[in-house]
A and B are shown apart, each in its own frame.
Chain A
Amino acid sequence: MFPEARLDVTLRTHGGAVQGVVVRSTRLVQASRLFAGRRPHDVTQLLPTVFALCGTAQVLASLGALEQAAGQPLSTAQGPARHLLLLGEIVSEHSLALARDWPELAGLAPDLGMVRRLKLALGGLRATLYPAGDWNRPGGGVLHPDHAALRAAFAEARSALDQLLDAPLAAVTSDLYAYQAWIAASPSPVAQLLKQVSSDELAAFGRGPFQPMPEQGPADLSARLETDREGLYVAQPDSAGRVFETGPLARMAWHPVVAGLIGRFGPGLLARLSARLVEVASSLQEMEDLVQDLDNDQGAAACLVDGVGLGLVEAARGLLAHRVELEGGKVTRYQILAPTEWNFHPEGPLARGQAGAPVTDDLLRRATLLAHALDPCVACDIKVENA
């Protein structure tokens, strides 16, 4: 039987407070080592299937690493198309969480018809940009964007989101006042969860020292990966002892809604959940703006020579890094560092946010909400143990 990777989080309480947070992971953080010996093209073919839930981000990080290793410049047309694919996955992943998981967290039944509508709205992006299906080809596939189909897909996604929120997404996230007014008045299940989390105690739960991931990743990322022969770094990364938070809160902390919530409640549950909603609005807007920049492009023949490359992308859940070493046209070493290893690090934001928290009747629910807000890419079980 294939063991399903998971996270087990235990809150150890004593004297009325959380004294320690233990995180056990069975995630297969070193499985990419087995890409060694394969041809680069075989790796980018395999990635979307074995990482189906964040397959676009995985492929784009891989392409970035492979093309850097080969010193292969990417044509200017491929950049916007790849960025559009990445944003599409971010909107899709966050939207599914809003429609499928948030109602359940609020004690409500999700509207599965809406979940399906949101999933299908952006499901055809790869084919709409790269009709030959070669979007994952090193050097770039044959880009032939169907502008009308893209605009129609974005309009459908926006319409579905407006319906889910029971208000226009853009208006809801325009400023803090509008956002809080919507939370207070809207019957939408998304607003219902945010309303539950808006009490002072819950809104602030999970705030700890906020250490957002730097925009291009930690300065020592490449060097640490290079020397990580045992795989300890990709399992529990740090940068000079600091364990960064990566994902929507780190990326959207500048936004007026998120900044306002951080100012009022700290970087806790309400700011983290809201950052995901705000990122949906921001990413969808960016996608709509990008359409006019898309041009046809033939791509380039893969020209993969010996070398070392690092590919970084901001995936839905945070910074994703791929590092590759190529020799004789084959991969000799392959490493992946995923965002969950930062956020669910034993000294990361999940653990920091709960250290010292008072034991309350709803501690388990609070911890569950925090795990959802930090959005692990695998199932996460939480329990509370009184020492």
Chain B
Amino acid sequence: MIPPAIGDQRAGEVMPLSSGRPRHAWRAWLLTETPGSRAQARLGQAYVAWLGFRRNPLAMAGLTILVVLVLVAVLAPVLTHQSPVSQELGRRLQPPSAAYWFGTDELGRDIYTRILYGSRITLLIVGLVVVSVAPVGLLIGTVAGYMGGAVDVVLMRMTDVFLAFPRLILALAFVSALGPGIENAVIAIACTAWPPYARVARAETLTIRNSDFIAAVRLQGAGPLRIVLGHVVPLCTSSLIVRVGYDMAGIILTAAGLGFLGLGAQPPSPEWGAMISSGRKFLLDQWWVATIPGAAILVVSLGFNLLGDGIRDVLDPKQG
């Protein structure tokens, strides 16, 4: 993870690029070759990772987009004084103007306001899915990888089955049974999103399982639960984070797709996918109703993707 060791192993001297600055003391502490504690080593690694990340303009753009998204979601009532749900038919289908920055929709609601409040729904869905899916996938993957044998076969078979469906279609099937609504949408997406995490966790576990330090811990008397939870799981987290970075855009797009079909958050909720769907009828003449929410989805997905790429470049540069 950290760039190759400085100094003795390689031929020749290494000359550091930066000269002494006021923050030199902090940098030196973080970048030292001989950390005094585990915490210092971890912080040092995180710092180096951050430096690498910062150097990547696209990744920083992604991070910016996401920070803006979170701020918008939190500060929505501050950024706009209109209501996202109250209808005012007198001003329906107004084009973008100074009064209504993104125009109004077919029920007279200000689209700008709806976009702002819609960001909350987006974050909610993504957050809920990730929070439920990552631990489940991690658990299944590490248990399968560590226990091996029949347990592994059964769990992986299950994972394969879920991977055999295209995500959206399986989510559709779930929603058809559960009924529309935002909670059901989250459940449906979660049910389809966990397999990749299980796969990644299992692959990592298999690599780690036979290493010496695991054998050492086992010799010290640790039971399988402690080994898996205490040692294997922490090592899987970085790959999992990379995977999460990849996936989040996909989750947003799936959620938007469900919304477009009317299966996600129900009206009058300002969910972006649903907004596109209701704007579809007016596409030809009042293009802004359907187009602008889509642009929002695009920007947010792009942000997640850039961030995911950036994280991956830092944590696993071989793929770059």
Whether chains A and B associate is no
